[in-house]
Structure 1
Amino acid sequence: MSITVNLYYTGEKGNARKFAEEMTKSGMVEMIRNEEGNLRYEYFIPLEDPETVLLIDSWKGQEAIDRHHASPMMERIAELREKYDLHMRVERYLSDEERISEKDRAYIRK
């Protein structure tokens, strides 16, 4: 079972986007993607809200998330959130792929 966390970073004057760009350009995004247990780490910008950036962050399980949260880079991420004065909203999802019904699978195009 994997855990996916959607983090919505919201700021003003493009700060959420600047945060995501700095995370990417600094190499931190790539370092996180290379952490043991990371399955996905991607930023998106909602069409309806250009002052928000969505991070989809997926891990093999809680232990992998805990290791990530205990890593030195979390301090740097917190500093960047503060630098850009970002506010966050978080959603957390557990995967349940093996329980997708055959009826639902009919609507999934691969």
Structure 2
Amino acid sequence: MKHLSSDLRRLDLKLTCKLQTEIDYWINVLNRVCSVVKSLASHGLSFRGKYDSFESSSENNVNFVMDMTLIAEYDTFSSKHILKYGKHGKGHTSNISFLLMNNLLKL
């Protein structure tokens, strides 16, 4: 039984690999968001403003969106994530939302 339960002989190996890939993906997203939140909070800068979506033009964006967009310019992972999840709106998991940002600030 011990031999059959080893990682290499698992029946659900593909499923566990997919799950670990998803976990790693969202950890990478959260690392970037936490870096922006820590940077803005430590300098006492505002997070939100009149235009706080990834759809608005870059000159009108507030600090959080502007910083995330700046990171996305040089980081293909962030760029792909913002393109995929940045314009979904409420009710979709993106981990770049202002609800998450507010929760991180409370922590």
The answer, yes or no, to whether TM exceeds 0.5 is no
- Measured against the shorter chain, the TM-score band is 0.3 to 0.5
TM-score of the superposed pair, with normalisation by structure 1 = 0.33
Give the number of the structure whose residues are more often helix, by fraction. 2
The answer to which structure, 1 or 2, has the higher relative contact order (CA under 8 A, 6+ apart) is 1
Structure 2 length-normalised TM: 0.33
| Structure possessing the higher radius of gyration over alpha carbons | 2
